[in-house]
Chain A
Amino acid sequence: DAGVIQSPRHEVTEMGQEVTLRCKPISGHNSLFWYRQTMMRGLELLIYFNNNVPIDDSGMPEDRFSAKMPNASFSTLKIQPSEPRDSAVYFCASSRLAGGPRDTQYFGPGTRLTVL
């Protein structure tokens, strides 16, 4: 199994630019999660999807952030416009059971975003 795939692995952009992060979950997994990791706040859940439907986006910091999951094998996290405080590592994770109580999330390698 290929695991969760994220792209790009590194992104450096200027303040105000649009940034799009991409994720391909593990085949057969029904839930997909976007996290942000910083030294100050650790791993924070931004949003998650069950069966391509957004379930909880309460962790999305502000309207500049948006996420989509057009099909079971692809999701994007978009930041527009980007700001220096958005610099962090963004992880995508997926799990098999949508809403299942005994379930495990598997993480991708992350995208390190730097906004100058």
Chain B
Amino acid sequence: EDQVTQSPEALRLQEGESSSLNCSYTVSGLRGLFWYRQDPGKGPEFLFTLYSAGEEKEKERLKATLTKKESFLHITAPKPEDSATYLCAVQVFYGGATNKLIFGTGTLLAVQP
């Protein structure tokens, strides 16, 4: 069964304290791995897509990396405005249904000033 697991479930950081979030997956036919950010009361906001092992993408204080079994979202010198839930999703090939995403349950990040 295709599965996506995120850890930790929750993370509390001090402003400026760098850390990483993990997304491990067990899927067949991976087409891509997506990171989204979700603020309370809002829909998920797209951050990155990674397609192959070794690929990296950056956006401001965030950097996403991908291996064959997991992805990391590195947060460098976070600020309070980085507080949110970060969701990982994998796009799986199911024959013609290539747009299907399977989401992890997310990591709730709180950055304290």
| Residues of chain A having any CB pair with chain B under 8 Å | 4, 31, 33, 42-45, 48, 50, 55-56, 91, 93, 95, 97-110
Tell me, rounded to whole Å, the shortest Cβ–Cβ distance linking B108 to chain A: 11
Of the candidate stretches B56-64, B71-79, B93-101, the one touching chain A is B93-101
Question: Would B31 and A101 count as touching, CB distance under 8 A?
Answer: yes
Q: Is A101's CB under 8 angstroms from B87's CB?
A: no
Total number of residue pairs linking A and B with CB closer than 8 Å: 67
- Asked if B98 and A101 make an inter-chain contact with CB atoms under 8 angstroms apart, the answer reads yes
Interface code B83-108, partner A: CB below 8 Å = 1, 0 otherwise? Answer: 00001010101101111111111100
B positions within 8 Å CB-CB of A: 31-32, 34, 36, 41-46, 49, 51, 87, 89, 91, 93-94, 96-106
Contact B43 A56 (CB under 8 A): no
Min Cβ gap B110→A in Å is 17
Q: Name the CB-closest residue of B to A55.
A: B97
Known: A42-B106, A43-B103, A110-B43. A99 touches B51 (CB 8 A): no
Q: B residues within 8 A CB of A95?
A: 99
Judge whether B49 and A43 touch: CB under 8 Å. Answer: no
Bound Cα distance from A35 to B36, whole angstroms: 15
Given A4-B43, A43-B87, A104-B34, also A48-B103 (CB < 8 A): no
Cross-chain contact B44 with A99 (CB below 8 angstroms): no
Q: What residues of A have a CB within 8 angstroms of the CB of B101 in the complex?
A: 45, 105
Q: Is the CB of A109 within 8 A of B46?
A: no
In whole angstroms, how far apart are the Cα atoms of A31 and B100 in the complex?
A: 11
A44 partner residues in chain B, CB cutoff 8 A: 103
Docked Cα-Cα span, A68 to B31, in Å, equals: 27
Given A4-B43, A105-B101, residue A55 in contact with residue B31 (CB < 8 A)? no
